[in-house]
Structure 1
Amino acid sequence: MGANSHIARWGSSLAVRIPKPVAEQWGVHEGSRIEMVPRGDRLVMRKKAYDLTEMLARITPETLHSEVDTGPALGEEAW
């Protein structure tokens, strides 16, 4: 599905509206992370893929938290 849109000002940046039917088909919503890749006279937008290896590499002793006690087991959990 294609759609036309326009460029608007958002503060000191520019913004493109994604029509609701396109957003629903694409599976994005407010707050979704996307990547924009310029390719000649085109701009390709795609959902941001999370890379577990990259995310784990950003963990430091300062950002690592201790275990969280959630209380006693309530069901058939094996501890």
Structure 2
Amino acid sequence: MKSKVQKWGNSLGVRIPNSMAKEIGLKEGMSVKFYIEDGAIVIRPAECDLETLLSQITPENLHEEIVVEGPVGREVW
């Protein structure tokens, strides 16, 4: 698949086709990491640590506690 490099401010940008973004679970607003490997630019979803994930919890996206009716496998309660 081909795309065109465009100028965005002082940087260059490339649009990622929706089908490719969906394939790797990439969504708008997600952090990514990119690096050069064997002469190619590689883009991957950024890995988050627990502190980063917890900092993104807001009253709007906080869900209620989930009640589980006992073990469903070999869990120890």
Give the structure 2 partner of residue 49 of structure 1.
47
Give the structure 2 partner of residue 4 of structure 1.
2
Q: Name which one, 1 or 2, has greater alpha-carbon Rg.
A: 1
**Paired positions, count:** 53
Consecutive unaligned residues in structure 1, runs of 5 or more: 57-75
- Distance in 1, matches of 2:26 and 2:6, equals 20
Consecutive unaligned residues in structure 2, runs of 5 or more: 53-66, 68-77
Q: Secondary structure of 1:25's partner?
A: helix
- Identify the match of residue 27 of structure 1 among 9, 12, 25: 25
- Distance in 2, matches of 1:32 and 1:8, equals 21
Q: Secondary structure of 2:16's partner?
A: coil
- Distance in 1, matches of 2:13 and 2:3, equals 10
Give the structure 1 partner of residue 36 of structure 2.
38
Q: What value does the CA root-mean-square deviation take over the aligned residues?
A: 2.0
- Distance in 2, matches of 1:13 and 1:23, equals 21
After TM superposition, where is structure 1 displaced by more than 6 Å over at least 4 residues in a row? none
Q: Structure 2 length normalisation: TM-score?
A: 0.58
Q: Structure 1 length normalisation: TM-score?
A: 0.57
